Structure 1
Amino acid sequence: MKAIIIGFMGSGKTTVSRLLAQKLGCRAFDLDEYIVENERRSVKQIFEEDGEDYFRKREHELLLEILKEDAVLATGGGTPLREDNRMAMKNAGVPVILLEASSKETFERLQGDDTRPLATGLDETSLGNLKNQRRQAYEECADYAIKTDEMTPLEITEKISELL
C-alpha cells in the first residue's frame, strides 16, 4: 500500500486516488467499486437487500484484502466509522489522507447522484450534519487533511505527492 485516501462522499477520493496511483506507477483501488465487483450488485442493491450492517461487514473483509496490495486506496465514505477499519488503516504503515470538502461543495457535487443510499433525499443541512457526525472518526485515523474546495484533482494529487 502506498497511500489511503479517506473522506466524506463526494470529496474526490476516487478521482484523486486514480491520479495518484498513475503518478506513483501503481494500481488504484476504490473500496466501494471493489465491493460491487465482488458482490456483483450495486451498493444501493446491497443496502436494500441485505442492509448496512452486511455492507459494512463485507467492506471490512475486503479492506483487509486490499491493504496487502501495492496500491493507492480510496475508501468508502463510511469506512472509517468502524474502529477495526480505522485500526487496520493506521496499522498499514502508509499515510492516511483525509480529503475535506465544505458541506456546500459536497451538496453541489452530490446533486442528482442516486447511487449513494445514505445521501439520497438529504438537503444541504442534513448532509452537513451527517458529515459532522463522521468528523471524529475521519480525524482519528487521518495523518493529513487537505481542504479541497479551491483545488483541482491534479492540485490535490500534487499536494499528496509532496506529503509522501
Structure 2
Amino acid sequence: MILIGFMGSGKTTIAKALSDKLSIKSIDIDEAIINTYETTISSIFAEEGEAGFRKKEYAVLKQHIDKNINDNVVISTGGGVVTYENSLKSLRSQKNHNVYYLDAPFEVLYERIKGDTSRPLANQDEDKVKALFKNRQTLYHDAADYIINTEQEIPEIIKEILKYEN
C-alpha cells in the first residue's frame, strides 16, 4: 500500500494505524529522507530548493518500493511526491502496491497544517497553499488506484482501505 495526498491528509497517521492493525512494516518517506541524508527536510529545501528535494525524495521512494516489491508494507509519501515526473511515473507503474489518494477539502487540510513550521511549503499565505493544492489534484487522481476521504474517523478510513486490499 502506498499513501499519497496533500499535506495534512493523514498519510503518516493512517500508515501507522494500518501498520499496527495488520502487523506490517510502515515506511514514511519523509522520515527515510531525514535518515538517509542525515538532515531535515527544511534544510534540504533551504540548501537545494524544491527541485533538489524532489530528486532526493524520488531516490528514497524508488529504493523503498524496489526493496519491498513483494512485501506487504505501507509506504507514506510526502505531499508533493506527485509533482516530480519520475516519482509520478513510479507510482503510476505500481503492480504490487495499491496507491491510495487520501483526500479532504482544502479548508480541512489547511486547518490541520497552518502554523506547522516543519512543512516548508505550508509556511506561505493561504492563497499560495491553496494554489499548490489545486495544482496537485489531477496528479493525485492520475497516480491513485483508489481515493479515500479522510474527513472520517481513522477506523473508518482503515476499513475503507482494507476493503480494497482483500
Output the TM-score relative to the length of structure 1.
0.92
| Map of 2:163 onto structure 1 | 162
- Partner residue of 1:13 out of 1, 11, 31: 11
Shift of 1:90: 2.5
Question: Structure 1: how far apart are the matches of 2:46 and 2:89?
Answer: 28
Residue pair 1:7, 1:100 contacting (<8 A) in 2 also: yes
Name the counterpart of 1:136: 138
Map 1:83-122; keep pairs closer than 5 Å. 83-93=85-95, 94-122=97-125
In 2, the alpha carbon distance for the partners of 1:130 and 1:157 equals 27
Task: Assess if the C-alpha contact under 8 Å between 2:9 and 2:102 holds in 1.
Answer: yes
* Aligned: 1:41 with 2:43: no
CA distance in 2, matches of 1:79, 1:121: 19
Separation (CA, whole Å) in 2 of partners of 1:49 and 1:24? 38
Counterpart CA distance in 2 for 1:41 and 1:154 is 33
Over aligned residues, Cα RMSD in angstroms? 1.2
* SS across alignment from 1:118: helix
Name the aligned partner's letter for residue 32 of structure 2: Y
Equivalent pairs, count: 160
Structure 1 unaligned regions, length at least 5: none
Map Cα deviations across residues 83-136 of structure 1 (whole Å, 9 max, x no partner). Answer: 22122123231210001111111111012201111110322x432221010111
* Offset at residue 34 of structure 1 (A): 0.6
Q: Distance in 1 between matches of 2:109 and 2:93?
A: 29
Tell me which amino acid in the other structure corresponds to 2:46.
Answer: E
What one-letter code is carried by the residue in structure 1 that aligns with 2:113? L
Q: Secondary structure at the match of 2:120?
A: coil
Contact 1:16 1:154 in 2 (8 A): no
| Alpha-carbon distance in 1 for matches of 2:118, 2:106 | 19
Instruction: Report the alpha carbon displacement of residue 145 of structure 1 after superposing the two structures with TM.
Output: 0.5
Task: Measure how far apart 1:81 and its partner are.
Answer: 1.3
Which amino acid letter does the alignment assign opposite residue 110 of structure 2?
F
**Structure 2: 5+ residue stretches without partners:** none
Partners of 2:129 and 2:104 lie apart in 1 by 12
Cα shift at 1:144: 0.6
| 8 Å CA contact 1:97, 1:144 repeated in 2 | yes
**1: CA distance, partners of 2:115 / 2:136:** 22
Among all aligned residue pairs of Structure 1 and Structure 2, give the percentage whose two residues are the same amino acid.
Answer: 36
User: Can you list the C-alpha shifts for 1:64-91, whole angstroms capped at 9, x where unaligned?
Assistant: 1110223100010011112221221232
